Amino acid sequence: MARYSISNLHAGTQQSLSSSYETLVSLTAATGATTLRKAWIYDIMVGADGTPADNALTYKVDRQTTVGTGTAATASPLDAGDAAALITETVNNTSEPTVTSATQMFELAVNQRASYRWVAAPGGELVVPATNAAGIGLRAKSSAYTGTATGTLHFWE
């Protein structure tokens, strides 16, 4: 089992937040792949990297049924001896994926000056299904803050 890290900072540029959810990072079973793989998200880290102010940001993790349009990224293996991940990673979406209704797995409001880390209890990992184009996305929004936010996922497959 190989472990990986993916962040919306992998792309070099980030999109600004708005009052609508923006997908920071998504993991998706590869479209058209002959062998689809599951992935297990066990660690989520979020924070704002813009000018400090007193704003609330809401982070959310949902299931997705389409990939959306974003920047393709490559997850970094946490062990340099591991092969590249087979799951598809997309960051900083410009066109949002289709979110599956009533599948919210995680929602958290955080002050802009704070960061947050969620670590799954053993057996409590979030599972990306081995279903074509299905995935999980980490999204963020703010009614007042229009700067950028960071999101990092650690996962294994």
The Cα 98–Cα 53 span in angstroms is: 31
pLDDT score of 81: 95
| Mean pLDDT calculated for residue range 23-32 | 84
The Cα 70–Cα 47 span in angstroms is: 20
pTM of the model: 0.92
pLDDT score of 13: 75
pLDDT at 31 over 80: no
pLDDT at 28 over 60: yes
pLDDT at 32 over 70: no
3-state helix, strand, coil in the chain (%, to 5): 5, 50, 50
Q: Summarize pLDDT for 48-85 with one digit per residue, the tens.
A: 988 888 999 999 999 999 888 999 999 999 999 999 99
The domain ranges of the chain are: 3-10+20-156
Residue by residue, DSSP assigns 67-83 as: --EEEEE-PEESSTTSP
Q: Summarize pLDDT for 89-130 with one digit per residue, the tens.
A: 999 998 999 998 888 899 999 999 999 999 999 999 999 998
pLDDT score of 11: 75
pLDDT score of 34: 63
- CA–CA distances in Å: residue 90 to residues 16, 97, 102, 127: 16, 10, 22, 17
The Cα 38–Cα 156 span in angstroms is: 9
pLDDT at 87 over 80: yes
What is the end-to-end Cα distance of the chain in Å, rounded?
6
